[in-house]
């Protein structure tokens, strides 16, 4: 039935998917399809709006009194705000010929009354909407979590011996094969011998190493099919109180899974990794650990964990890596006289996929570090080996400009503040996000306080610092109709938000470096209200999530990760989220503009 067909289409448009079947029927019975050629006007600011429009194909632009242009494309609805009298009537012009559904105003109003979820979509503020949208996309991710199968995790190759094999020989074989348990074939049945059995029966018991291993095996092996759910494996282990299961494929044993692998799949193995980092004795050993970072990020992202939490976990791990490299490379005698700091996104704890290394070393005034250059070269090289790419701006310890005594740093700050031009401000911004990871924290704290002091009584420098938010346009003109399917979400989104907040944090002498923390502080001191703070945090998270998604996709394709996203691959839901988030960025940009009086600095 084609009525069903149209209904399905309508139900795929958010928020119409929240309507009951009966409500959808009413919509269908009242809806027309209209065609508007390119450049024609869909509705005019001078006329009363009498219907709601839903775009089937094509795109439309409108601008408000302040000259902000907004674009709408496939599956977007037009004129909802006007109908709800939340904004003045606007003129909508067709930029790509348009086919749209039209729904009479009175029915739209009735739906708002009869359906709470539908109403929420149109009336709630952006943060609430983003939350609601997120819930929707989460559901699919959660099911993924429930549908993981045995074959998705690491299955240990089985180590199988005959029951007649002497225990000593079997254990030696276990060692060679690095097996945690041995499977025993004995008189047509399969048993298992674990470390626990060896401890109890051989070491503490009376069984000698020469006796056949079949004697101490446990029979009646608990097995699970390779295609079964991980969940069931977890349940079986719990039920039988065991740590291992034999995995079968068509009834034949093909491997063993360990409880630890299961648990690490279900939590994430960040804990395991941090233990491994601490235990590492060389850069080489560290490297095997850091290679697993991307997989953790991917699995956390797939489980629907918010990007800012993923960033926190990754940042914890990276900090541990830096500490370790510091320990391996920097002589112990230096440790209380120098401070290793990470800056930029690493300093803000926002670097999820490694893009570059921004780090520096502050040296106590008067401390003599012999062989400094060589040590610093080794440090930077070690990080490069571990997959932290070189910083194009050379903000690294092997660059003397970022590795010097405290007083020399202070001198630099003086010169930056006195001559506040583009590059100086960029360096200042990098230093502002500095976070100490090893050595004497006091050195970094003192440096940052000095920076706050020097900048805060210098309004012109502050304004020039903040002005960087105007370097990029917010890409709210994206519909795929402009041939701009690729947009850079860092330049037009996260950078503006992050830097705007950074400028405010500098002005208010806020200690915290992460953007989200800074927003919370700014709200505490009353500079921005609670609603705006929440919207900013949520929007920042949304943009980070999309950037992360893009990077993971590109990594999976074997390409270099960048910050661009392809709108063609976005679902309607995602586009709505992004649009809302970018609106918030725009609001912040305007706020920064008049707060720092940016129109007064050249």
Partner 1 sequence: MFERLKRNWMKKLLKEPRYAFLFDTPPKDEVVVFDTETTGLDIKKDEIISIGAVRVKGNRILTSSQMYIKVKCDRAISEESIKIHQIRVCDMEDALDPDEAMDRFLRFIGPRPLVGYYLEFDVAMINKWIKPKLGVTLPNQLIEVSALYYDKKIGTIPQGHVDLRFDTIIETLDIPKLGKHDALNDAIMTAMMYIKLKHVKKL
235 makes contact with partner 1 (CB under 8 A): no
SS3 78: strand
The smaller minimum CB distance to partner 1, of residues 32 and 291, is found at 32
Tokens 């990029």 -> residue: 472
DSSP notation for 387-420:
T-PPPTT--STTSGGGEEEHHHHHHHHHHHHHS-
Tokens of 600: 């007064």
The smaller minimum CB distance to partner 1, of residues 94 and 451, is found at 94
Nearest distance from residue 21's CB to partner 1, in Å? 18
The smaller minimum CB distance to partner 1, of residues 8 and 235, is found at 8
Helical (H) or strand (E) element with 255: strand 252-258
The smaller minimum CB distance to partner 1, of residues 102 and 433, is found at 102
13 makes contact with partner 1 (CB under 8 A): no
- Give the other-Cβ count within 10 Å of 88's Cβ: 10
The smaller minimum CB distance to partner 1, of residues 1 and 560, is found at 1
The smaller minimum CB distance to partner 1, of residues 29 and 65, is found at 29
Contact residue for partner 1 among 20, 25, 32, 172 (CB under 8 A)? 32
The smaller minimum CB distance to partner 1, of residues 100 and 447, is found at 100
Cβ-contact 497, 532 below 8 angstroms: no
Residue 598, C-beta contacts closer than 8 angstroms, at least 6 positions apart: 463, 466, 467, 470, 592
5 makes contact with partner 1 (CB under 8 A): yes
Contact residue for partner 1 among 3, 41, 87, 556 (CB under 8 A)? 3
Is the bond into 233 cis (omega within 30 degrees of 0)?
A: no
> Please, which of residues 83-142 interact with partner 1 by CB under 8 A?
97, 99, 101-102
31 makes contact with partner 1 (CB under 8 A): yes
Contact residue for partner 1 among 1, 146, 560, 600 (CB under 8 A)? 1
What single DSSP character describes residue 246? E
154 makes contact with partner 1 (CB under 8 A): no
Angle (CA) 573 583 591, round 5°: 160
Instruction: Considering only the stretches 34-42, 494-502, 527-535, 577-585, report the one whose residues sit in contact with partner 1 under the rule CB under 8 A.
Output: 34-42
Contact residue for partner 1 among 11, 13, 15, 29 (CB under 8 A)? 29
The smaller minimum CB distance to partner 1, of residues 104 and 255, is found at 104
Contact residue for partner 1 among 15, 18, 24, 36 (CB under 8 A)? 36
The smaller minimum CB distance to partner 1, of residues 143 and 568, is found at 568
SS3 481: coil
Instruction: Considering only the stretches 28-36, 223-231, 442-450, 531-539, report the one whose residues sit in contact with partner 1 under the rule CB under 8 A.
Output: 28-36
d(CA 291, CA 52): 52
- Give the other-Cβ count within 10 Å of 225's Cβ: 17
d(CA 498, CA 347): 13
Contact residue for partner 1 among 34, 69, 157, 556 (CB under 8 A)? 34
Nearest distance from residue 56's CB to partner 1, in Å? 5
Tokens 């095996």 -> residue: 217
The smaller minimum CB distance to partner 1, of residues 29 and 526, is found at 29
Nearest distance from residue 52's CB to partner 1, in Å? 14
Pick from 600, 573, 447: nearest CA to 141: 573
Rounded CA Rg of the chain: 30
Number of chain residues interacting with partner 1 (CB under 8 A): 23
Pick from 480, 477, 532, 473: nearest CA to 501: 532
37 makes contact with partner 1 (CB under 8 A): yes
Helical (H) or strand (E) element with 100: strand 92-104
The smaller minimum CB distance to partner 1, of residues 3 and 235, is found at 3
172 makes contact with partner 1 (CB under 8 A): no
Contact residue for partner 1 among 33, 117, 177, 275 (CB under 8 A)? 33
Alpha carbon separation from 441 to 328, 340, 341, 424, 447 (Å, rounded): 19, 8, 9, 25, 10
Helical (H) or strand (E) element with 20: none
x/- binding map, residues 42-81, to partner 1, per CB under 8 A? --------------xx------------------------
30 makes contact with partner 1 (CB under 8 A): yes
555 makes contact with partner 1 (CB under 8 A): no
DSSP notation for 281-318:
-SHHHHHHHHTTHHHHHHHHHHTT--HHHHHHHHHHHH
Question: Given the rule CB under 8 A, which residues bind partner 1?
Answer: 1-3, 5-6, 8-9, 28-37, 56-57, 97, 99, 101-102
């Amino acid at each position: 039935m084609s009525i069903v067909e149209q209904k399905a289409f309508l139900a795929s448009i958010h928020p119409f998917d929240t309507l009951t079947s009966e409500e959808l029927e009413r919509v269908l019975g009242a809806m027309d399809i209209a065609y508007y050629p390119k450049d024609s006007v869909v509705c005019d600011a001078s006329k009363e709006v009498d219907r709601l429009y839903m775009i089937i194909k094509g795109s439309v632009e409108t601008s408000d009194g302040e000259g902000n242009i907004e674009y709408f494309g496939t599956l977007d609805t037009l004129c909802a705000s006007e109908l709800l009298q939340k904004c003045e009537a606007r003129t909508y012009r067709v930029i790509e010929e348009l086919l749209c559904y039209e729904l009479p105003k009175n029915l739209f109003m009735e739906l708002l009354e009869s359906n709470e979820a539908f109403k929420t979509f149109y009336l709630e503020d952006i943060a609430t909407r983003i939350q609601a949208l997120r819930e929707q996309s989460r559901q699919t991710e959660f099911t993924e979590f429930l549908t993981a199968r045995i074959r998705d995790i690491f299955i240990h190759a089985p180590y199988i011996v005959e029951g007649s094999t002497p225990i000593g020989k079997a254990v030696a074989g276990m060692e060679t094969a690095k097996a945690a348990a041995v499977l025993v074939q004995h008189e047509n049945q399969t048993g298992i011998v674990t470390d626990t059995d060896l401890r109890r029966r051989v070491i503490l018991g009376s069984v000698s190493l020469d006796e056949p291993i079949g004697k101490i095996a446990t029979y009646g092996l608990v097995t699970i099919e390779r295609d079964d759910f991980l969940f069931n494996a977890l349940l079986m282990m719990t039920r039988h109180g065991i740590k291992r299961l034999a995995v079968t494929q068509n009834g034949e044993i093909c491997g063993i899974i360990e409880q630890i692998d299961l648990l690490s799949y279900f939590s994430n193995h960040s804990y395991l990794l941090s233990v491994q980092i601490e235990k590492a004795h060389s850069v080489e050993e560290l490297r095997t650990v850091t290679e697993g970072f991307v997989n953790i990020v991917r699995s956390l992202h797939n489980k629907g964990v918010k990007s800012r939490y993923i960033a926190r976990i990754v940042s914890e791990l990276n900090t541990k890596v830096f500490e370790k490299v510091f320990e391996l490379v920097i002589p112990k005698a230096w440790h209380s006289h120098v401070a290793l700091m990470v800056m930029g996104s690493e300093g803000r704890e926002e670097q999820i996929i490694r893009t570059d290394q921004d780090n520096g070393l502050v040296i106590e005034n008067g401390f003599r570090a012999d062989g400094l250059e060589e040590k610093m070269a080794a440090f930077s090289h070690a990080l490069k080996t571990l997959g932290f790419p070189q910083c194009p701006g050379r903000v690294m310890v092997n660059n003397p400009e970022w590795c010097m005594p405290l007083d020399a740093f202070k001198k630099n700050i003086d010169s930056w503040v006195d001559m506040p031009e583009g590059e100086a401000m960029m360096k200042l911004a990098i230093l502002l996000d500095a976070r100490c990871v090893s050595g004497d924290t006091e050195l970094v704290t003192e440096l940052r306080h000095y920076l706050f002091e020097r900048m805060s009584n210098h309004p012109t420098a502050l304004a020039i610092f903040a002005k960087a938010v105007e370097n990029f346009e917010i890409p709210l003109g994206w519909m795929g109709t402009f041939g701009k399917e690729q947009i850079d979400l860092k330049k037009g989104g996260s950078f503006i938000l992050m830097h705007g907040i950074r400028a405010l944090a500098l002005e208010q002498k806020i200690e915290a470096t992460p953007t989200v923390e800074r927003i919370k502080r700014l709200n505490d001191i009353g500079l921005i209200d609670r609603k705006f703070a929440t919207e900013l945090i949520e929007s920042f998270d949304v943009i980070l999530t999309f950037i992360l998604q893009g990077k993971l996709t590109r990594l999976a394709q074997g390409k270099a990760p960048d910050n661009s996203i392809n709108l063609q691959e976005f679902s309607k839901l995602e586009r709505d989220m992004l649009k809302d988030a970018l609106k918030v960025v725009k609001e912040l940009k305007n706020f920064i503009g008049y707060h720092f009086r940016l129109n007064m600095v050249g």
